Amino acid sequence: MSLPGGWEWLIIILFLLIFFGAKRLPEMAKGLGKGIREFKGAISGITDEIEKAGSKPVESKTEEKPEAKPEPKKAD
């Protein structure tokens, strides 16, 4: 699938101008830009956390469990 050519972009822009109006388009573009910026920030934060978790040496924690004492049997 290819990107739209010159005429297709012109039709899309005209449709947006007619449908939303010239005043709302900059507001919509600003909101879209903020959303993309937040998404990229979240993705980079997640990848940083994964890299930090992968670079830490694995510590083997062997917890010693106390030995269970057998309970005395009750006489009924």
Q: What one-character-per-residue DSSP string does 39-74 give? A: HHHHHHHHHHHHHHHHHSPPP---PPPPPPPPPPPP
What single-letter amino acid sits at 53? A
Q: Reduce the DSSP state of residue 5 to 3 states and report it.
A: coil
> Does residue 61 have a pLDDT over 70?
no
How do residues 29-49 score in pLDDT, each as one tens digit?
899 999 999 999 999 999 999
Q: What pLDDT is attached to residue 23?
A: 85
Domain boundaries, the chain: 22-54
16 by Cβ neighbours in 10 Å (0-12 / 13-18 / 19+) ranks as middle
Give the CA-trace dihedral at 22, 26, 28, 33, to 10 degrees.
Answer: 160
